[in-house]
Amino acid sequence: PRITERGLLGAPTLVQNAETLAHVALIARHGPRWFRQVGTAAEPGSMLCTIRRADGAPRVVEVPLGMPLKALLSDVRADQAVLIGGYHGSWLPATEAVRLTLDNQSLAAAGARVGAGILLAPPPDRCALIETAAVVRYLALESAGQCGPCLNGLPRMAAALTEIAVGRQRGQTQADVERWAGLVTGRGACHHPDGTARFVRSALITFAAEVSRHQRGQCTGTSKRPFLPIPHGSARTEEDWM
Ligand code: SF4
C-alpha cells in the first residue's frame, strides 16, 4: 500500500519536504507578495542550494530562483563539467552551465532542471565518467525493486555504464543504454528510474570525448579520490540487503 493509504502506525501519512513547509510558514506570516520579492515571475521565491566546487567541502546557501549559475560557480574552469540538480539531474559542460540561471525555465533549454538544488563541479583531475558509473550502481541498488524499471532496467544500465567506464564496452553497449533509458522512463511508481535515466543520458553526451578515450584505454582522471559522495555503508551488491 502507498503510505498515503497506510503509513506511520497504520494511518494515512503525508510526507512533505521540510523546505516547502518552511516556505509555507513564512508565506502565511508575511504574505505572498513578500515571497515574490525575489525569484522570477514564473518561479518566485528562494531555495536552498547545495554547492560543491573543486575546492572541496559542500556549502548550503539560500538563493533566489533565477540567480545566474556563474555567480554560484565563480571558480569553475572551462574544461570542467557541472552536475545540476543532484543524482537525478543532468551533467552539462561548465561553458554551457555558466550561461544559465537557477530556474527550470532557463535550465530546461539545456535539458536540465533545478531538481534537488545541488550543483557539483568535480575538479579536472577526476574522471566524472568513472564516478557517474559508481553513482548509477548506487542508484540501482537503492530502489526497493518493486517495479519493473528498477528490477530490470537500472541494474542493466549500471552494468553497462561500468563497462563503458572501464573501457570494455561492446559495439551495442551505448545503444542498449539508450534503449533501456527510454524503457524505464515513466514506467515506475515513482520517478527514481526517470531521474536515473536522465543522469545517465546526460553523462554519455557531456563525456562523449572521455568515453572515446576510455575505449582507447586512456583516461583524463589522475586522482582516484572520489568526488561524488556516496553514503557510507551503502549496499555494494544486491546481497547486502539480505
Ligand atoms: S520505481 Fe520507485 S517505487 Fe518502484 S521500485 Fe523503483 S524506486 Fe521503488
Beta bridge partners, 90, equal 84
Mean of pLDDT over the chain: 94
CA angle 105, 107, 33 (to 5 degrees): 40
For ligand 1, residues with CB inside 6 Å are: 143-147, 149-150, 188-190, 192-193
24-47 average pLDDT score: 97
Closest of 32, 24, 2, 1 to residue 14, by C-alpha: 2
Alpha carbon nearest to ligand 1 atom 6, residue = 150
Residue 144 pLDDT? 80
- Tell me the domains of the chain and their CATH numbers: 1-35 (no CATH), 46-120 (3.10.20.600), 128-241 (1.20.1440.230)
Tell me the helices (H) and strands (E) count for the chain, helix number first: 11, 5
- Residues ≥6 apart with Cβ < 8 Å to 93: 81, 82, 206
Alpha carbon nearest to ligand 1 atom 1, residue = 188
Q: Distance from the CA of 135 to the center of ligand 1, in angstroms?
A: 17
* 3-state secondary structure (DSSP) of residue 84: strand
Q: Which residue has the cell 561492446?
A: 170
Q: Distance from the CA of 187 to the center of ligand 1, in angstroms?
A: 9
Q: Distance from the CA of 146 to the center of ligand 1, in angstroms?
A: 6
Residue 143 pLDDT? 84
Asked whether residue 242 carries a pLDDT value surpassing 70, the answer given is no
Tell which atom from ligand 1 comes closest to the C-alpha of 142: 7
What does the pLDDT look like over 69-107, one tens digit per residue? 999 998 899 999 999 999 999 999 999 999 999 999 999
13-19 average pLDDT score: 93
What does the pLDDT look like over 135-149, one tens digit per residue? 999 999 998 888 999
DSSP-derived pairing of the beta strands 118-120 and 46-52: parallel
55-76 average pLDDT score: 92
CB burial class (10 A; 0-12, 13-18, 19+) of residue 242?
exposed
Higher pLDDT, 145 or 150: 150
